[in-house]
Amino acid sequence: MRFGSLPTVGVDALTSEDFLLDVRENDEWEAGHAEGALHIPMSEFVARYGELTEAAPEDGKVYVLCRVGGRSAQVAQYLIQQGLDAVNVDGGMQAWEAAGRPVSDGKGGAGTVI
C-alpha cells in the first residue's frame, strides 16, 4: 500500500527485528510506546536528526510511527529525501495497540496510546 509515492506498511507487516522511529510528542510517548522504538518528536526532528542516523541500521529500513500516520508520513518523506529507506506505518500507534501489540509506559507497566 502506498500513500502517494510514499512506501507504507500496516503494523501486521512489522516484526520485532524492525527498526521503529516514533515521532510523537513527549506526552504521547510517555503514555505508551512500542518497546525498543527510538523516540524523536517531530517538533525536534531536524535538530536531532543525527540521533537517528547513529541508531538506524546501516542499509536498513526505518519504520516511522506516530498516532495515526499523518506526522509519520511527513517524517518518512523527509527521510526519503535525505536518502534513507523510510516506510510510513499506516494507522500508527492506534493500529499497533488495536492489533494487540504491546504498549509500554517505559516504567515496566502497560502503556496506553493517547
Catalytic residue among 40, 64, 66, 73: 66
Residues composing the chain: 114
CA distance 97 to 79: 25
- 1 classed as catalytic: no
Other Cβ atoms less than 10 A from the Cβ of 111: the count is 20
CA distance 54 to 48: 11
**Looking at the annotation, which residues are catalytic?**
66
